[in-house]
A = this chain, B = another copy of it.
Amino acid sequence: MQLNSEAMPEQGVFQRGNMSQSNQAGNAATPDSAAQLDIFRRMLRIERNDDATRAQIRRGRITAPYYSARGQEVIPSTLSNLLTNDDKICTIYRGIHDMVAKDMPLRPLWAEICGRVDGTCKGKGGPMHLTHPETGVMVTTGIVGSSMPIANGFGWASLLNGDKNVTIAYFGDGASNIGAFHEALNLASVWKLPVIFVCANNGFAEHTRYENGTSVDFIAKRAIGYGMPGFTVDGNDPFDMYAHAHAAIERARAGEGPTLLECKTFRFMGHVFGDADGYMTKEEKEAAIAADPLPAFRQKLIDTGIATEAQLAELQVKLEAEVQDAIDFAFACDYPDVAELRRDVFAEEIPA
């Protein structure tokens, strides 16, 4: 039996290599000066916020587990530069950098991770379930893989609305081995949903090294199996990220369907705060930290005359003040009332 060739699914594509350097697509988009500065601002906002979070944990003022994304700043910062508040993200327990990149305000974020009633989720969700619809932070999940099927629902809504919004599903390399990944990418492709599947491939899933859990050398190759374009991107290079994110977003907004972006990166702080990192070598960790994209990009902005040292120092001061303000705000907030256990279970409050 031959399948009807007209109705055949689109062919999948896999590409590897730095699009910004090789300009493989022939027309790779590059961030202009303003965009570069904005990407850096978002990166620094993430890093300053992460640093402050770890400081508060060390001081014992935050008691919940914390999954730092230090080192992965380029990925969401570059994407967020190309997104609006109407574009949505579904992210994961390690997703605070995705939210900070999306310009989620820090006060409700901090109040939430401190379990206060003025937190964005009234202290009921905590760091693994932060939500901020105003900036498009729709879902934060603690279940590996689950960001993806839900992102499809927002994508379907965009088709129904006839709007041009895109939805980003953030996830990790380990998550690419779970069933939800497969089901979500297949559905998104069959339905041509405006969803971008962004895999932060940091080389580890908890303590498991990439190749010990993942059967393919490049996750982006899996796009071939879904008839969609897939790219392995240098997730630490804002130019390569920009070129691929731009193409994927354009494609999604044009109604052409989803894209899989595998963004190579590294998490400097291990899986969870306090992680002893015994499952990686000292050398690889040191090498990764030596290649920290944040100072490198900062230097590049200065070298290329996009910003001066003074400007960037001022930016940092401003961001640190914003973070400090959020911390002060959070710790001054009240704790939620126990009556909250009966609220938001359903729209209607559960009777006492």
Contact = CB atoms under 8 A, between A and B. Distances in A.
Contacts of A224: 216, 221-222, 224-225
B214 A190 contact: yes
A129 B186 CA distance: 29
Contacts of A222: 222, 224-225
A216 B11 CA distance: 7
A228 to B, nearest CB: 7
B217 A190 contact: no
Interface string A274-289: 0000000000100110
Interface in A207-228: 209-217, 221-222, 224-228
A178 B189 contact: no
Interface string A230-269: 0000000000000000000000000000000000111000
B12 A221 contact: yes
A1 interface: yes
B203 A215 contact: no
Nearest to A6: B211
A215 B181 CA distance: 14
Contact of A264 (B1, B182, B215, B287): B1
Contacts of A178: 179, 182-183
A3 interface: yes
Interface string A169-204: 000000001111111011001100000000000110
A338 interface: no
A1 B182 contact: no
A4 B265 CA distance: 14
Q: Which of the listed residues A185, A217, A291 has the most CB atoms from chain B within 10 Å of its own CB?
A: A217
Nearest to A4: B211
Given A203-B1, A211-B4, A211-B8, A183 B190 contact: no
Interface residues of A, number: 44
A128 B331 CA distance: 60
A7 interface: yes
A133 interface: no
A3 B177 CA distance: 17
Contacts of A3: 203, 210-211, 217
B12 A216 contact: yes
Interface string A114-130: 00000000000000000
A9 interface: yes
A213 to B, nearest CB: 6
A284 B7 CA distance: 15
Contacts of A264: 1
Contact of A216 (B179, B211, B221, B227): B227
Nearest to A177: B186
Q: Which of the listed residues A179, A215, A228, A288 has the most CB atoms from chain B within 10 Å of its own CB?
A: A215
Interface in A266-311: 266, 284, 287-288, 291
A232 to B, nearest CB: 11
